[in-house]
Amino acid sequence: LAELLAGEASEQDVLQVTPFAGVDLIPGSGRKNGYVDLVAQGPLEEYLGRWKLRYDVVVVDGPPILPAADSRIIASMVDAVVMTVRALRSNRDELQAAYQELEKIGAHFAGIILNGVRRESGGNYYGAEYEYGGGQRRPKLPAPRQDG
């Protein structure tokens, strides 16, 4: 992505077609120097607009909100932000601070992905039950909430 934003490569050069229909990928870059400037002053917003016309959904995977200025810049350019947090590792105060940073820039916070959750034997996480392999068991999910 950095090479594209710096004008060192074309979109066709960096775009990778995946084996999944309609899913393409532009990998990140190991470039550290000047990356924030490329995100802030480069043509990223223009590319995002173009990709939104071409794809149903555009996902931008960015660095953590707090330590990285480029993530806040990107968050201000996208339609929604989803934070990924690790169970038993992410600090509540840091999550709150990250959320407040998103609020400051007017980013639309869409939710959290909680990963690293260990399933205790004998129980189901949020009532979901799955069987992999030859079984055809469908997930058991709680009944929808009735607000009203």
35-61 burial: b if 16+ Cβ within 10 Å, else e: beebbbebebeebeeebeeeeeebebe
Instruction: Please tell me whether the overall predicted TM-score, pTM, comes out greater than 0.85 for this model.
Output: no
Q: Other CB atoms closer than 10 Å to residue 68's CB: what's the count? A: 15
Of residues 49, 50, 96, 48, the one with CA closest to residue 62: 48
| pLDDT recorded at residue 77 | 92
User: What mean pLDDT, rounded, does the chain reach?
Assistant: 82
* H-run or E-run covering 109: strand 109-115
| pLDDT recorded at residue 32 | 72
DSSP code, position 114:
E
For residue range 47-96, list pLDDT tens digits in order.
999 999 999 999 998 888 888 888 999 999 999 999 999 988 888 899 99
Residue 11 to residue 26: CA distance in whole angstroms: 9
For residue range 125-144, list pLDDT tens digits in order.
555 544 444 444 544 545 55
Distance of CA 60 to the CA centre of its chain: 6
Task: Please give the average per-residue pLDDT across 4-32, as a whole number.
Answer: 88
